[in-house]
Amino acid sequence: MIGLVIADDHKVVRTGLEQLIETFDDVQLLGAGANGEDAVRLCVAFRPDVALLDLAMPEVDGIEATRRIRAEAPDTRVVIFTSFSDRERIMQAIEAGAIGYLLKDADPDELHRGILAASRGESPLAPKAAAEVLAARITTPPAGGLSDRERQVLVLVASGLANKQIARRLGISEKTVKGHLTRIFQSIGVTDRTQAALWAERNGLLEAD
């Protein structure tokens, strides 16, 4: 029997999920929460095989809840269950530690198969999510396309330093830092510091540093 925890801030959706899960003879619902804080608490208390989390929830959202569950209940496999199918949210969820990403327009059988797959350590992805993940991997340039200095600047950006702090750390001017950032953004295909930081983490630059 697969132990499951769910979290969704919409009561109608949550109640519908509870009723649906009751029809799965190989899945046991251990708890249902209304936000990410509930999800973390339930996962720590019950240690379910799978946690099914909405993405946009008050207080603690699905991304932060995923990070905390992976840290505090590492054996629980997190599957995001949401209506959002944009690439940025999908990649954020996966980077946070989610093993799967399913959409709320899935039919009951697809949801059931996704829960079973996650419990086996597989990665259930809705077709739209799978396409976005593949596209992200295809369009993300290799880290080797950056110069050593650009890699240094990118790592410091990802570490949360402002341009003035980066300039001081590297012994260069702020204008030079801005020039490096312009080239970095163009090279890796992003438009702001947050996206650049996510790119650096995804490509292992922080670990390498």
Same domain? For 179 and 198 the reply is: yes
Same domain? For 90 and 130 the reply is: yes
Whether the Cβ atoms of residue 26 and residue 49 lie closer than 8 Å to each other: no
Same domain? For 100 and 195 the reply is: no
Nearest in space to 82 (alpha carbons), one of 28, 7, 137, 32: 7
Same domain? For 117 and 154 the reply is: no
Q: Which residues contact 151 (CB under 8 A, 6 or more apart)?
A: 143, 205
Which class for 24: exposed (0-12), middle (13-18), buried (19 or more C-beta within 10 A)? Answer: middle
Q: What CA–CA distance (Å, rounded) separates 8 from 110?
A: 18
Estimate the crossing angle of helix 148-158 against helix 163-170, to 10 degrees. Answer: 130
- In the prediction, which pLDDT does 81 show? 95
- In the prediction, which pLDDT does 209 show? 47
Domain count, the chain: 2
Same domain? For 114 and 204 the reply is: no
The residue segments making up the domain with residue 15 are 2-138
pLDDT tens track, the chain, 209 positions: 999 999 999 999 999 999 999 999 999 999 999 999 999 999 999 999 999 999 999 889 999 999 999 999 999 999 999 998 888 888 888 888 899 999 999 999 999 999 999 999 888 988 888 777 766 655 555 555 788 888 889 989 888 899 999 999 888 988 899 888 888 888 887 888 888 888 888 777 775 44
3-state secondary structure of 143: helix
pTM comes to 0.67
Nearest in space to 82 (alpha carbons), one of 59, 60, 58, 57: 57
Last residue of a domain, one of 110, 138, 166: 138
Same domain? For 126 and 156 the reply is: no
Which class for 86: exposed (0-12), middle (13-18), buried (19 or more C-beta within 10 A)? Answer: exposed
The length of the chain in residues reads 209
- In the prediction, which pLDDT does 141 show? 53
Same domain? For 23 and 120 the reply is: yes
Last residue of a domain, one of 84, 104, 138: 138
Same domain? For 129 and 180 the reply is: no
Q: What CA–CA distance (Å, rounded) separates 26 from 206?
A: 41
Q: Which residues contact 80 (CB under 8 A, 6 or more apart)?
A: 53, 54, 55, 62, 66, 93, 98, 100, 101, 102
- In the prediction, which pLDDT does 138 show? 52
Same domain? For 13 and 73 the reply is: yes
Residue 166 belongs to domain with CATH number: 1.10.10.10
Q: What are phi and psi of 81, to 5 degrees?
A: -130, 100
Residue 38 belongs to domain with CATH number: 3.40.50.2300
Last residue of a domain, one of 120, 138, 156: 138
Instruction: Give CA separation, 101 vs 114, 120, 175, 195, in Å.
Output: 9, 15, 41, 20
Same domain? For 173 and 189 the reply is: yes
Same domain? For 94 and 25 the reply is: yes
Same domain? For 23 and 96 the reply is: yes
Which class for 130: exposed (0-12), middle (13-18), buried (19 or more C-beta within 10 A)? Answer: middle
